[in-house]
């Protein structure tokens, strides 16, 4: 018996093979529809630069410490998100953090895969030339037609799930790492091209002012909670994604530096998306507060104005699909790794079961704009409910628990040891400060923002 245990523990675990691979996969997780779809529409709906500033504060004071903590716990335990807590604190209920994470993963994927489905549909629409038009009435009609059709909504979602399943089956280094390494640099380049084009439109300056000149009159406690939820969502933290990816990190990887790089690059991508979208929104007289449809009605109108616009639009939606792919891989890796490492299922079995369950839950989000449009809980369709519940409740709750575990159970010595790679990195002072933030500042801040935003006091 003891022999078997030892050989299981010694079996080589798949992981990221190079330092660049770590960065690409982690950044691939962070950068996604959160940057290209959610960030612009939330910034637009919540008043622009003031929202951006609150978002920045949340990213620095909460996002960064939680991200570092998650990666650290995963790398130390080298296990899935439930197994990590079973290893680090055996016999305690802390593994529930991993359990909540699995739940959150399903709820996020349910609506995320539907937005990815719209993106995929737009790849084909733009190939066929049917979505491109400089007339806003036409681009919004084209989008409505897609989301109001139940069959199309479901089929595109299934196509997304099959695509992601295929990559996940290839494994961590040959699937996730290989795919994200090739595609992330391309995404950057294309966003810059679209951004420059948008800036050159007459009337673009109103968009820049909206994005960079803060107006604090729009900031309410609800808006602060939305900004914090966005920080969690964009950095992929609070539900075990970073923990799981951390478990694939190499032992000589500098975790705080990697987290800082990922955070900065993620922010840069969001800003580029904002610069690509808002000048165009104002130049064409769209409403910045259009909500979730913003990306799908403005981007086609921008492209319609430029030479080879049809071609650029295909490339843009292909790259958005790619960004969404890296993110979805990282969301699904959480349940897949829990199922395969906890229950001993094969990776294929775990992947297929996860996707089947998702097709079921996801359908309720996919049909939220058609047959289930009137089916509401708390006044929200399933699509909106899954979105609000995860970003505003589950992820922040996960963040609080992760900080409490690290600050009060794990403790300063092991924290400093794990994040200095056993003393080989000269970052003691930084870690001492970071520990205090993780122990006190972040969890209290999350708690206050969450309770106030939800109207508890």
Q: In this complex, which beta carbon is closest to ligand TRP, that of residue 226 or of residue 241?
A: 241
Residue with tokens 């990195």: 425
Environment class of residue 307 by beta-carbon count within 10 Å: exposed (0-12), middle (13-18) or buried (19+)? exposed
Tokens (6 digits) for 454? 């939800």
What's the min distance (Å) between Cβ of 360 and ligand TRP?
20
Nearest to residue 157, comparing CAs of 372, 353, 328?
328
Binding site residues, ligand TRP, CB under 6 A: 29-30, 32-35, 108, 233-234, 236, 239, 241, 327, 330-331, 395
Contact 219, 51 (CB under 8 A): yes
What's the min distance (Å) between Cβ of 8 and ligand TRP?
28
Query: Cα–Cα distance between 340 and 115 in angstroms, integer?
Result: 28
Contact 277, 294 (CB under 8 A): yes
Tokens (6 digits) for 334? 């959480």
Q: In this complex, which beta carbon is closest to ligand TRP, that of residue 38 or of residue 75?
A: 38
Q: In this complex, which beta carbon is closest to ligand TRP, that of residue 32 or of residue 48?
A: 32
Q: In this complex, which beta carbon is closest to ligand TRP, that of residue 241 or of residue 427?
A: 241
Report the residue number whose CB is nearest to ligand TRP.
34
Query: Cα–Cα distance between 23 and 409 in angstroms, integer?
Result: 29
Cβ atoms < 10 Å from Cβ of 16: 23
What's the min distance (Å) between Cβ of 237 and ligand TRP?
6
The residues, any chain, with a CB within 8 Å of residue 126's CB and separated by 6 or more, are 132, 300, 310, 313, 314, 317
Query: Cα–Cα distance between 302 and 37 in angstroms, integer?
Result: 15
Q: In this complex, which beta carbon is closest to ligand TRP, that of residue 168 or of residue 304?
A: 168
The residues, any chain, with a CB within 8 Å of residue 152's CB and separated by 6 or more, are 121, 146
Query: Cα–Cα distance between 213 and 220 in angstroms, integer?
Result: 17
**Helix 382-389, helix 96-128: angle, nearest 10:** 130
What's the min distance (Å) between Cβ of 110 and ligand TRP?
13
What's the min distance (Å) between Cβ of 228 and ligand TRP?
13
What's the min distance (Å) between Cβ of 106 and ligand TRP?
12
What's the min distance (Å) between Cβ of 306 and ligand TRP?
26
Q: In this complex, which beta carbon is closest to ligand TRP, that of residue 82 or of residue 431?
A: 82
Q: In this complex, which beta carbon is closest to ligand TRP, that of residue 195 or of residue 399?
A: 399
Query: Cα–Cα distance between 20 and 26 in angstroms, integer?
Result: 10
What's the min distance (Å) between Cβ of 302 and ligand TRP?
21
Q: In this complex, which beta carbon is closest to ligand TRP, that of residue 97 or of residue 416?
A: 97
């Amino acid at each position: 018996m003891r022999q078997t245990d030892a050989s299981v523990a010694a079996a080589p675990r798949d992981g990221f093979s190079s330092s660049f691979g770590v960065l690409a996969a982690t950044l691939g997780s962070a950068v996604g529809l959160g940057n290209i779809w959610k960030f612009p529409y939330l910034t637009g709906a919540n008043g622009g630069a003031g929202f951006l500033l609150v978002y920045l504060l949340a990213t620095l004071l909460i996002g960064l410490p939680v991200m570092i903590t998650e990666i650290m716990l995963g790398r130390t335990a080298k296990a899935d998100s439930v197994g990590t807590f079973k290893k680090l604190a055996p016999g305690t209920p802390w593994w529930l953090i991993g359990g909540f994470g699995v739940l959150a993963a399903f709820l996020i994927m349910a609506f995320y895969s539907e937005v990815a489905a719209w993106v995929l549909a737009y790849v084909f629409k733009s190939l066929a030339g049917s979505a491109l038009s400089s007339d806003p009435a036409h681009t919004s009609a084209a989008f409505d037609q897609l989301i109001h059709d139940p069959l199309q909504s479901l089929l595109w979602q299934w196509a997304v799930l099959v695509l992601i399943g295929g990559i996940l089956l290839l494994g961590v280094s040959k699937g996730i790492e290989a795919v994200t390494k090739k595609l992330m640099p391309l995404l950057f380049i294309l966003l810059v091209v679209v951004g420059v084009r948008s800036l050159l439109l007459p009337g673009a300056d109103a968009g820049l002012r909206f994005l960079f000149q803060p107006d604090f009159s729009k900031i309410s406690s609800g808006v602060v909670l939305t900004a914090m939820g966005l920080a969690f969502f964009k950095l992929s933290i609070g539900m075990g994604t970073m923990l799981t990816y951390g478990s694939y990190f190499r032992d000589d990887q500098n975790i705080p530096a990697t987290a800082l790089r990922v955070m900065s690059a993620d922010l840069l991508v969001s800003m580029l998306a904002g610069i690509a979208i808002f000048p165009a929104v104002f130049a064409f007289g769209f409403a910045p507060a259009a909500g979730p449809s913003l990306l799908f009605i403005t981007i086609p109108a921008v492209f319609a104005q430029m030479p080879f616009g049809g071609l650029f639009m295909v490339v843009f939606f292909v790259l958005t699909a790619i960004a969404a792919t890296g993110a979805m891989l990282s969301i699904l890796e959480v349940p897949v790794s829990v199922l395969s490492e906890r229950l001993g299922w094969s990776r294929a079995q775990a992947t297929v079961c996860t996707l089947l369950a998702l097709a079921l839950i996801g359908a309720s989000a996919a049909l939220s704009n058609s047959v289930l449009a009137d089916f509401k809980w708390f006044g929200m369709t399933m699509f909106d409910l899954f979105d609000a519940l995860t970003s505003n409740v589950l992820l922040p709750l996960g963040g609080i628990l992760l900080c409490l575990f690290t600050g009060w159970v794990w403790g300063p010595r092991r924290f400093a040891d794990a994040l200095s790679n056993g003393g080989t990195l000269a970052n003691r002072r930084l870690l001492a400060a970071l520990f205090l933030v993780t122990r006190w500042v972040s969890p209290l801040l999350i708690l206050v923002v969450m309770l106030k935003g939800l109207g508890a006091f």
